[in-house]
Amino acid sequence: MKALKVLSVASEIYPFVKTGGLADVVGALPAALASEGVAVTTLVPGYPAVMAAVESSTEVYHYADLFGVEARLVRATVQGLDLLVLDAPRFFDRAGNPYLGADGQDWHDNPQRFAALSRVAADLGLGRAPLYVPDVVHTHDWQTGLTAAYLHYSGEPHAPTVMTVHNLAFQGQFSPSLLSAIGLPPYAFGMDGVEYYGTIGYLKAGLQLSDRITTVSPTYAAEIRTPEGGMGFDGLLRSRAAVVSGILNGIDTTTWDPATDPLIAAPFDLKRIEARAANKAALQERLGLAIDPDAQLFGVVSRLTWQKGLDLLVDRLGILLGTGAQLAILGSGDATIAEGLAYATVLNPGRVAMVNGYNEGLAHQIQAGSDVILVPSRFEPCGLTQLCALRYGAIPLVARVGGLADTIIDANEVARAAGIGTGIQFGSVTPAGLEAAILRAAELWRDKPYWQAMQKNAMKTDVSWSRPAATYAALYRSMVAIPQ
Ligand SMILES: Nc1ncnc2c1ncn2[C@@H]1O[C@H](COP(=O)(O)OP(=O)(O)O[C@H]2O[C@H](CO)[C@@H](O)[C@H](O)[C@H]2O)[C@@H](O)[C@H]1O
């Protein structure tokens, strides 16, 4: 079968630039899809970290004036990834976060920066760079949403588009006065175009004008079509329900392999599950927690935002500690949430530890050494942390929302009797809901044979990219038949 050429377009990609799970998925898709006969090329902005990684490249296109700046589009293979890099120094050669300046505010020219990324993706989709012409254009999140608009308003034949929503909370809304500056015609500013509650909506444009829409779990695909979960887009998504689907994320099972992980203290697998104990002791030691094999150790690896529900944990910390448990947190983000958690460590030395920051090694150690991984999210499109937890035999305790609902089998009475169950879910994402789940976790912890059965069930769960990749490949193949 002829390899299908898919242009994936995103504002971040692991291992070069990551602020969240989007980067992990964008970085993992190419390898996962290669075995499905799909050749993915990823278009990303030329941030300093990306430019530094590019050793040699070929120029594919040159822009004398891309929304006011000069730019080159170059192609390079870096660490096995086939990249198209938008080298536009005046937009992307800036230290720090892809979206925010050192003052924590959005870069003032974000509308132009991400319009430029989308404009280039559209030019490729229109076949304007003969060195690379994709069969399908796959965009991710609001930063690439205008791609579908540029293609649509070109009025020319072009590659079909699919947009994946990793998080509906980030919508990219900008002033309508920018319409001509970002190269859109006046008639694009309507309900069936890019207009969104009086603004130009980048995510709106993608959701309205892409041929297909996916999100990262079936449950989230259903939730976003409801007023509670739609964040303003439920009506649009209901009207486009026929082209909306949910495809679960996977994780890189080579990087996340407890049998070979060089970042953890002691390797283990299904047959040597008892070796987890050495990882637990090493983690307790590293974080200054009491070295106690019997204390149930809860771990958190998370962005600290309202979405992730960690304020609920602060609220019910007393309950958790009351069961004799310990808590290890790694997170970065919202200063108020971080302060609440840091204060808890001061009050509970040896029982609560918090590391504020981004740390990959520690993330692996928390997965390998914790007994439970907490993910009390208010909403969760898919979630990767609980997938890593399954693979590492750390029992996920999760809110029953989005991809968390789809990936964890709750160890309720029926599941327990049947010997199935991979984790603990709670339905009401409130302090009381979390409290009940923590108390259930404590009770299950006392039933050691069942706890170990759960760990084994968890570790046997397929969290790889193989099934999702096959589903994406089938979707792309169904799209190349779309007449434009
Ligand atoms: N301080 C830290 N140090 C080290 N590692 C850290 C870390 N904080 C987070 N991580 C890791 O980064 C990844 C983030 O994944 P999430 O699924 O939580 O993504 P996020 O909510 O950012 O993204 C959105 O996109 C992804 C991808 O589609 C969806 O799964 C998700 O539901 C959606 O909200 C996880 O592997 C996590 O362990």
Please work out whether the CB of residue 381 comes within 6 Å of at least one atom of ligand 1: yes
Q: State whether ipTM is beyond 0.95.
A: yes
How many other β-carbons are positioned within 10 Å of the β-carbon of residue 90?
Answer: 16
Answer for the pair 342, 314: CB distance below 8 angstroms, yes or no.
no
Confidence of residue 104 (pLDDT cuts 50, 70, 90): confident
Percent above pLDDT 90 for the chain: 95
Position in ligand 1 atom list of the atom nearest CA 403: 32
Please work out whether the CB of residue 303 comes within 6 Å of at least one atom of ligand 1: yes
| One domain for residues 68 and 27 | yes
Closest Cα to atom 23, ligand 1: which residue?
21
Residue type, 226: T
Question: For 246-287, what is each residue's pLDDT tens digit?
Answer: 999 999 999 999 999 999 999 999 999 999 999 999 999 999
Closest Cα to atom 14, ligand 1: which residue?
21
The CB-side HSE value for 52 (13 A sphere, CA atoms) comes to 9
| One domain for residues 240 and 319 | no
pTM value is 0.96
Beta bridge partners of 327: 298, 352
| Domain span including residue 442 | 270-460
| One domain for residues 104 and 15 | yes
Measured in angstroms, how far is the CA atom of residue 153 from the centroid of ligand 1?
34
| One domain for residues 427 and 475 | no
Residue 470 has what pLDDT? 98
- Annotated binding-site residue? 2: no
| One domain for residues 351 and 336 | yes
The yes-or-no verdict on residue 9 having pLDDT over 90 is yes
Closest Cα to atom 18, ligand 1: which residue?
383
Please count the structural domains in the chain.
Answer: 2
What CATH code is carried by the domain that includes residue 446?
3.40.50.2000
Please work out whether the CB of residue 215 comes within 6 Å of at least one atom of ligand 1: no
* Residue 259, domain member (yes or no): no
| One domain for residues 71 and 16 | yes
Please work out whether the CB of residue 170 comes within 6 Å of at least one atom of ligand 1: no
Measured in angstroms, how far is the CA atom of residue 382 from the centroid of ligand 1?
9
| One domain for residues 456 and 473 | no
Query: How many angstroms separate the CA atoms of 9 and 83, rounded?
Result: 10
CA terminus-to-terminus distance, the chain? 23
Question: For 68-97, what is each residue's pLDDT tens digit?
Answer: 999 999 999 999 999 999 999 999 999 889
Compute the average pLDDT of residues 355-376. Answer: 97
The yes-or-no verdict on residue 2 having pLDDT over 70 is yes
Please work out whether the CB of residue 214 comes within 6 Å of at least one atom of ligand 1: no
| One domain for residues 61 and 156 | yes
Answer for the pair 245, 163: CB distance below 8 angstroms, yes or no.
no
The yes-or-no verdict on residue 483 having pLDDT over 70 is no
Please work out whether the CB of residue 306 comes within 6 Å of at least one atom of ligand 1: no
How many other β-carbons are positioned within 10 Å of the β-carbon of residue 116?
Answer: 26
